[in-house]
Amino acid sequence: MEYEIKFKGRVHGPISSGRMSRDVEDYSHDVAKAIADEAEKVWVRNLKGSIRHPTPYYWTQIRTREISSTKYEVHDGGIVYGHWLEGTGSRNSPVTRFPGYWSLRRMDEEMKRRRGTIAKRILREYRASGRLT
C-alpha cells in the first residue's frame, strides 16, 4: 500500500524569516565568548593567588583570541616559561623542586563546572529580550 499526503501551508514567524537561525548563531557566539572571557579571568586569578613572588608580566600576556564564531582560544602568547609555571615543562620536578602552579589545569576544571551556568545565564538574557523564545 502506498500513501501520498499533500498539504498546503504558510510558514511565518522567526523560523521562516531567518531570525531564529541568526539568534541561534548569535547565542552560540555570545556563549563561547563569555566562557572564554571568564576562563581568562579565572586563569589570571589562579596565577595571582599562586605565584610566590609575583611580577605581573606573565599574567598580562594572557589573552583570548577568536578562532571562529563559536571557538575561542585562551593563551599566554607562547611565553617560553609558561610550561614551567604550569608544571608541564622539562625543568619541573623531579629535575627541580618546583612542581608548577597548575593554574591552567585548575581553570579548565573550574570552567567545565561553570560553562552550563554561563550558557543558561545568556539564554535567560536572550529570552528576556524576546529572542530564542
Q: How is the chain split into domains, by residue range? A: 14-128
- What are the angstrom distances between the C-alpha of 9 and each of 4, 12, 14? 16, 10, 16
75, pLDDT greater than 50: yes
Contact between 42 and 109 under an 8 Å Cβ cutoff? The reply is no
Grid cell, residue 105, equals 589545569
1, pLDDT greater than 50: no
Which band of pLDDT confidence, cut at 50, 70 and 90, is reported for residue 94? Answer: confident
Q: Tell me what pLDDT residue 37 has.
A: 97
36, pLDDT greater than 50: yes
Which band of pLDDT confidence, cut at 50, 70 and 90, is reported for residue 92? Answer: confident
Question: One-letter amino acid identity for 72?
Answer: Y
